[in-house]
Structure formats: structure tokens, C-alpha cells
Structure 1
């Protein structure tokens, strides 16, 4: 098999954008899906995105499953911005409005929520518990957990909190985000050094008011991104764990792509409520041998949804 045509939806969660495929009836190997991800997520190609989302069959008590491949073809444990989009497709396919969703290494709950703003399709997802055992990453830094402390092998004076959500995150609270520094730290982790062989996501976080955060993330396998859902969840948990914000109280989490609402329980479960916005949909041909995409057909644009989200994002930026 070389050339394969896929129907897909171009969507985004809080500005984190993806092509999304209903893969329940498609039989491809993991290596082939990695090539599809590289082809469709390539910003120089006809689609572009932060990665590829797949809606898969459910098993056990999970109504459906989700897979997320990063733009470089690596598979992430989860993607909470993407999960909302997959949940929407699953809800619409099955005629339901709540589901347990199977992820690569865990499960999450998703439910249709009240719209964040008129016309903004909203899903609430609950994932966790957040983990603090860095040996499971693995992260070799001479400690079983890192909470508001330096990571000696990183060579940075910043204090980090290491959180698995369930993918690995290093979270640093800063007075003001320095993107050049964030990229430098992110690239050091992206190089997969011996002490961090599976890499990690890195976030710089500003506390804004009593129950608000601004999160900027260098995402593993992607780079600097407008939004990362699991990073927002990890940052919210880290803020509560270190006493910067309160447990069991609504948190507004801003990012370069917009915002989500978060709540962190004392049981380390984190809920995010955010958009799952369709932008356009169509079909495309992928040459699996070369991991190249072409012959794009755009069937329609979701103009009303795009406008509704733009209005919310503009208000959040102010």
C-alpha cells in the first residue's frame, strides 16, 4: 500500500490544531500512522497541525479510544486539547454526550459541557491522577520527585515541578515568560539526553490573579506551541500543589491560543473545560512511502464556529 485517501476534519482545541481522522475502520500499522502524521501535520504541506488525532474503537467500558501522533511521528501518551476534539467526533458518531475514553496508557472521562461562549462547542474532560514519580518517565536527577526545585542535569537555575499527566511535564513559575529561555530549555529536553531519554514538555507559567494562569509550552515532538492541554492541566496541578492556587476552585488558564477552565481536586484529578472547534473538513491523499500529502479536497468551512471562537480568543487576549 502506498497512496491512501483519508477523510478528515481540521479542528482545534484552544488553538492547538490538528487533522482528525475517524480511524475505526482503517487498518494501518503504527509506523504507517506515524507517516500519515508527518505528512498531514507538516506546516509546509497542504494541511498542517501540531499533530494527528485518531478516533478509534472502544474496549471494555470505554466508548471509544484516542491516539495522538506528534508532528514528528512520535506517539504521545495523551493530548487533552486533542481529546476534546476526538470526544466531539465520538459523541456525534455514537449519538452520546458523555464517555470514558481509552488513551495510550490511561483513560479519561469526557462530557459535553455548557458552551464557553455562544457557538463554541465545549467539552469537559477529567484526567489523572497527576503523578510525581519521576523514575517512571524516566528522569534521572537524583530525586524521587521534583517539586519547585532545580533539575541539576538541565543546567538551569529555574525551579521546576515535574508532573506526569500522564505524559511528562516540567513546569516552572516565572514572573514573565521569556520565550528564548523556554525554547532553550525545551530544546535541551527535546535532545533526549541520557538522563531524560523519552524527552519532556516544558512550560513557563505566570500566575495572574487569585485563580488564573498564563501557560506557554515547548511541546515534546512539536516545539513552541500556542497551547498544550496536558501542560495546562499539569501547570494547574503544580500551582495547587505548591500553594500558589487553591484546590477544588475554578481556574482560568490562558494561553497564546485562547483559554480553558480548570479544576484540580485534592485527589490529583484535573478537569479541563474547553473548546472543540471544527474549522474545515475534506479529504486528502497520502503517499505512505514518502510520508507526503497531496491532492487536497476541501468540502466546507465551519465559518460560524471559527467566528465564535475568534470572538472568545480576542476577548481572552485582552
Structure 2
């Protein structure tokens, strides 16, 4: 099959994005398409695959997000901004409710974070603390700034569903080897965590600045994870490290977002939705392989505008 897509990113979290409204694929085929297009050794590459899908009675459009291993995520807030931009352009609107796998989120075009940076406001949640919904067993009903014995570490974690599951630890300094080890332990889907989880280490740089590094379920160590930044912001408020309702800058390896968490557990993110290039690629679904690629258009001005933001964030 031939597949047209936009290569895009939200805060450095990069994806091929396809218009799923025109594709009649089974769930298995979507997983195969994700593995083919997101393969870093292939012609496209990405942290996963995004699909703009049809709306419903509550939503103008929907989003599906598949990790690079083909598993489908409940949400991806960096990806949602990209899908929202595609939906706005397709439908000629600038705000909407978007349908996710297990929830809905409000999205709207927003004032640029920086010159020439297309910016989306997204409101997601409520963040949930009920461990039975993950499920995560053996840690009680909630885990807030407490050890998780099954992980085999003395680190204190806060468990937040956004609605995908996140384990957030606040650290003085991020040790990527330690983070990767803990993430890989969750990635094995042990009996106590059968659906796996995202694991984040978070530095509180000052009362208005967080730095987040995430081992993402189904992806691995990633430069950025939007739902992890939302979960980390909420966890920081919940544990008294920052104040509910206060705007904070959340830094990551890919750049930044602006965020705030409300006492009702809703989290607002302001971040980029950057187009990098558009292309058409042949895909062998049977073998999960992408082949011949044609680049149709490049968005060099957008790439340059975001590079200035990312360089300043670093």
C-alpha cells in the first residue's frame, strides 16, 4: 500500500501522522503500519504513529496513537496537539473536543509559544490515582510519594493515570541508566503491572520549572512524553512541590511545554505542533516494512523556529 503522511513533532516527540479517516484498516493492520513507519531503521521513523480519525456525537474528530512496538496507547498529549492541528486544518475550525481511546480532551489553537511556532492548548484529565484501574497490585489503593516495593528501589513514586499509567519520581539528579532499568522492568509486564507503565524522573529546578525524563511504555527512553509532563505537573502539585493553578515551564530533552494543574485534577498544556515534512511511502504490511519514500514538501521555517526554542530550553 501507499501511505501519505506528515512527519511532525510535539516538543521533540516525533511521529508520522496519517489521515485515518481515509484508511480502512483492522487493528492488527494499524499495529503493523505503526511498526513499519515508526521504525528508526526505516525511511520515516518516529516514537509512534498518529492517526486523525472521525469524530462522534461528542467530538469533532478523534485520535489514535500507536507506539513504535505496535501497541495502542490510551493517549499521547504531544501527539494530540499534532492531530488537533491536522483536524483544525481539515475541518476549518480552531477549537474542538477530541476523542481519544478511553477519554476526551479539549483542544484549541493558542497564541504562539515563540515566533512562528504553531501552538495548541489542550486540557486533559482528570488525573486519576486509583491503582485498581491500571491495575497495579500490591501497593494499596493509591501511591503518593511512597516506595513501590515490587520495583526493587528505594525511590518514592507517585502513580498517576492520565489516563495512561505513569510512575513519577522526584529526584535531585536524573540518572538515565537507573531510569532505563526501572522502565525496562515495567516493560516486561510483570504480574503486578500487567499493562506496563511509563516511568519518569523529575527534577524541580525552581518553583516554576520542572525537567522531565521519561521511559515510555512501548517506546523506551524518549526525548519527550506529553502525558508524562502532565502527570508530573499534577504529581508535583499533589505532593506540594508546586502550587495548584500556577503556570510552570516543563522542560525536556526535546524542548518544553507550559503547564498548570488544577485542584480538580484537570491539567492544561500549551505546546507546539510542528510540521517537519510531508511524504508518501510504500508499506508492506505483511512484513511491517516501509520502502520507497517520496518527500513531497518540507517545512524548514517551522523546523528552524522550533530549533530556537529547543536550544534555549537546553
Alignment TM class, shorter chain as reference:
over 0.9
- Matched residues in 1 for 2:265 and 2:123: separation? 10
Counterpart secondary structure, 2:313: helix
Gaps of 5+ in 1: none
**Shift in Å, 1:11:** 0.1
Distance 1:60 1:279 in 2: 32
Deviations 1:233-288 (A, max 9, x none): 00000000000001111010000000000010000000000000000001111101
Deviations 1:143-200 (A, max 9, x none): 0000000011111110000000000000000000000000000000001000000000
Does structure 2 retain, via aligned residues, the 8 Å contact 1:150–1:157? Answer: yes
Say yes or no: does 1:65 pair with 2:54: no
Instruction: Give unpaired runs (5+ residues) of structure 2.
Output: none
Displaced runs of 4+ in structure 1, greater than 2 A?
none
Q: Give 2:44's aligned residue.
A: 47
Query: Could you tell me how far 1:210 is from its partner in structure 2?
Result: 1.2
Verify: 1:12 aligned to 2:9, yes or no. Answer: yes
Write the distance in 1 (CA, Å) between the matches of 2:220 and 2:152.
20
Specify which of 247, 252, 257 is matched with residue 250 of structure 1.
Answer: 247
Aligned with residue 22 of structure 2, among 22, 25, 42: 25
Partners of 1:300 and 1:313 in 2: how far apart? 23
**3-state DSSP of counterpart to 1:116:** coil
* Alignment partner, residue 130 of structure 2: 133
Does the Cα contact within 8 Å between 1:37 and 1:71 map onto a contact in 2?
yes
SS at match of 1:233: helix
Does structure 2 conserve the Cα–Cα contact (< 8 Å) formed by 1:55 and 1:90? yes
Taking the aligned partners of 1:142 and 1:6, their CA distance within structure 2 comes to 44
- Give the one of 287, 291, 296 matched to 1:299: 296
3-state secondary structure, aligned to 2:160: strand
How far apart, CA to CA, are the structure 1 residues paired with 2:221 and 2:109? 29
Per the normalisation by structure 1, the TM-score is 0.98
SS in 1 for 2:147: coil
CA distance in 2, matches of 1:297, 1:142: 50
Counterpart-to-counterpart distance in 1, 2:58 and 2:135: 30
Question: Is 2:113 aligned against 1:116?
Answer: yes
**What is the aligned partner in structure 2 of residue 231 from structure 1?**
228
For 1:198, the equivalent position in structure 2 comes to 195
In the TM superposition, residue 142 of structure 1 has moved relative to its aligned partner by: 3.5
TM-score by length of 2: 0.99
Alpha-carbon distance in structure 1 between the residues aligned to 2:191 and 2:206: 39
Show the counterpart of 1:266. Answer: 263
Contact 1:211 1:246 in 2 (8 A): no
For the aligned residue pairs, the C-alpha RMSD in angstroms reads 0.5
